[in-house]
């Protein structure tokens, strides 16, 4: 899809602030600092509309990006960041879960994992949760440029094994630096989400 017009339409700290719209939504989930904002910026051809930060746990809101008035990208707070209080983590967890379980417009979930590392228990829990609720899922393995080409298949099979992935679910290796994986991710969105 050609993307020229994108707006950050809503920054939501609670469910009452979610946009009232019938546009389909694609949610991006992953642990803190896995590269959600970088992926979103790459997909929408922007340098910094989605704010990236080297400080984990920075995104504490659910952010809705309107893409060409055709769909929303929904950036969820990163999970598994230890430096916020337990109470705050629980609040985020409930907030994210409310969005994921009540939003009829949500059509697809993109789970981001760092290709360099084995998925952790939080990643596994999130993957299982997505499958339990029968959402269409794509796993995007970020930071592809940080490993050698010869290592890619090995790392992908480690992710697949650790998450105990359904053989029908795809993993797309992605690099925000080289843009590798961008076209494949868009093709997948167009197949499932964009009418």
Mean of all residue pLDDT scores within the chain: 89
* Domain containing residue 73: CATH number: 3.40.50.300
Q: Is 4 exposed, middle or buried (0-12, 13-18, 19+ CB in 10 A)?
A: exposed
194 pLDDT band, cuts 50/70/90, is low
Distances (CA, A) of 94 to 14, 27, 54, 76, 88: 10, 16, 25, 12, 10
Residue 1 lies in a domain: no
Which of 167 and 84 is assigned the larger pLDDT?
A: 167
Find the domain containing 14 and state its range.
6-192
Residue 187 lies in a domain: yes
24: left (phi over 0), alpha (psi -120 to 50) or beta: beta
Residue 84 lies in a domain: yes
Which of 194 and 120 is assigned the larger pLDDT?
A: 120
pLDDT tens for 147-170 read 999 999 999 999 999 999 999 999
- The 3-class SS string of 120-165 reads CHHHHHHHHHHHHCCCEEEEEEECHHHCCHHHHHHHHHHHHHHHCC
Residue 164 lies in a domain: yes
Distances (CA, A) of 74 to 27, 34, 109, 150, 152: 5, 16, 9, 33, 28
Residue 123 lies in a domain: yes
pTM: 0.91
60 pLDDT band, cuts 50/70/90, is confident
pLDDT of residue 50: 72
Name residues whose C-beta falls within 8 Å of residue 194's C-beta, 6 or more positions apart in sequence. Answer: 1, 24, 70, 71
Strands (E), 13-93: 24-30, 62-67, 71-75
Q: Are strands 106-114 and 136-142 parallel, antiparallel or unpaired?
A: parallel
Tokens linked to 114: 């760092």
pLDDT of residue 91: 74
Domain count, the chain: 1
Q: Is 73 exposed, middle or buried (0-12, 13-18, 19+ CB in 10 A)?
A: buried
Cα(44)–Cα(67) distance, integer angstroms: 8
CB 1 within 8 A of CB 70: yes
């Amino acid at each position: 899809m050609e993307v020229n017009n994108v707006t950050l339409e809503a920054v939501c700290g609670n469910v009452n602030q979610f946009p009232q719209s019938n546009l389909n939504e694609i949610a991006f989930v992953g642990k803190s600092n896995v590269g959600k904002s970088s992926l979103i910026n790459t997909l929408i051809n922007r340098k910094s509309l989605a704010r990236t930060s080297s400080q984990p746990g920075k995104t504490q809101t659910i952010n809705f990006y309107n893409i060409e008035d055709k769909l929303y990208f929904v950036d969820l707070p990163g999970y598994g960041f230890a430096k916020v209080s337990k109470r705050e983590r629980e609040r985020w967890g409930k907030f994210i879960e409310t969005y994921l379980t009540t939003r009829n417009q949500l059509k697809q979930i993109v789970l981001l994992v760092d290709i360099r590392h084995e998925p952790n228990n939080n990643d596994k829990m999130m993957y299982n949760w997505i499958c339990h609720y029968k959402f269409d899922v794509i796993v995007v393995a970020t930071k592809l440029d940080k490993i050698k080409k010869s290592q890619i298949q090995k790392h992908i099979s480690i992710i697949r094994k650790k998450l105990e992935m359904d053989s029908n679910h795809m993993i797309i290796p992605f690099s925000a630096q080289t843009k590798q994986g961008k076209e494949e991710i868009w093709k997948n969105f167009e197949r499932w989400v964009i009418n």
